[in-house]
Amino acid sequence: MRLVIFGPQGAGKGTQGARLQEKYAVPAIATGDIFRWAIATEGGELGAKVKEYVQAGRLVPNELTIQVVLERICADDCKDGFLLDGFPRNRAQAEALDEFLEERGIPLDAAVVIDVPEDVSLSRILGRRACLRCGRNYSVDSPPSNPWTCDVCGGQVVSRADDLDESAVRQRLELYHQQTKPLTAYYQERGVLRQIDGTGGPDEVFDRIVAAL
Ligand code: AMP
């Protein structure tokens, strides 16, 4: 199964990505997690290149982002599929992914877009926490079992730095509406779009996605 999942910040992409990864036994690859991890592990070349963009809530340049993603999906664990969370974020990235898959004769099975109204999106962003090491998502309403230590890998669970900066949050939402939302039409034309109502609890949303797939 080869999937992409997109939606505004706070739509629940990370949470649903983790569940879909388990259900379909494919790795969930989140570009935001790759970049945050690269920034957190000081000294790396990638982290130095992307830090400025991520902290300001701007998009990392396409060329670099596309290179990181295409390299990642060439890895052995992606042989039977993958789930991309947070990529593509604009038309150029979507076209680069399509071209790469077409050359290899492997189609994208579905593009899942999770829709939530802006007030839901904002309140979820403010309440969310994530593991600094593995990216697993938590929230103030569903924290890890031991205060702020990841249940999966023991990493530190914190608010994302870019969620604390209100102007960066607004910038990311605006970018979503300008650049990412139009991918809905792009994937609809290709017959792979699955539009999901992202309001309600995580189980409800997950059931909707699985039914749509
Ligand atoms: P996310 O965790 O998906 O909200 O991503 C966090 C940040 O990483 C974004 O605000 C961007 O700065 C950067 N980023 C993640 N995915 C992409 C992408 N596909 N293209 C460009 N920048 C990205």
CATH class of this structure's domain 2-207: alpha beta
Whole-number CA gyration radius for the chain: 16
Query: Ligand 1 atom closest to Cα of 87?
Result: 19
Please, are residues 37 and 130 in contact by the beta-carbon 8 Å criterion? no
Instruction: Give the separation between CA 114 and CA 26, rounded to whole angstroms.
Output: 19
What confidence tens digit (pLDDT) does each residue in 102-145 have?
999 999 999 999 999 988 988 889 899 999 888 888 999 889 99
- CA 20 to chain CA centroid, nearest Å: 12
In the reported structure, the alpha carbon of residue 174 is separated from the centroid of ligand 1 by a whole-number distance in angstroms of 13
pLDDT for position 116: 95
Which of 2, 36, 89, 194 is an active site residue? 89
pLDDT for position 171: 87
Q: Is 160 a catalytic residue?
A: yes
Instruction: Give the separation between CA 103 and CA 47, rounded to whole angstroms.
Output: 30
Mutational test site, ligand 1, from 5, 33, 46, 54, max ligand atoms within 8 Å of CB: 54
What confidence tens digit (pLDDT) does each residue in 156-165 have?
999 988 888 8
Does the reported pTM lie above 0.95? no
Mutational test site, ligand 1, from 46, 53, 60, max ligand atoms within 8 Å of CB: 60
**Which residues are paired to 19 by β-bridges?**
none
**How wide is the angle at C-alpha 80 spanned by C-alphas 132 and 47, nearest 5°?**
30
Q: Is 128 a catalytic residue?
A: yes
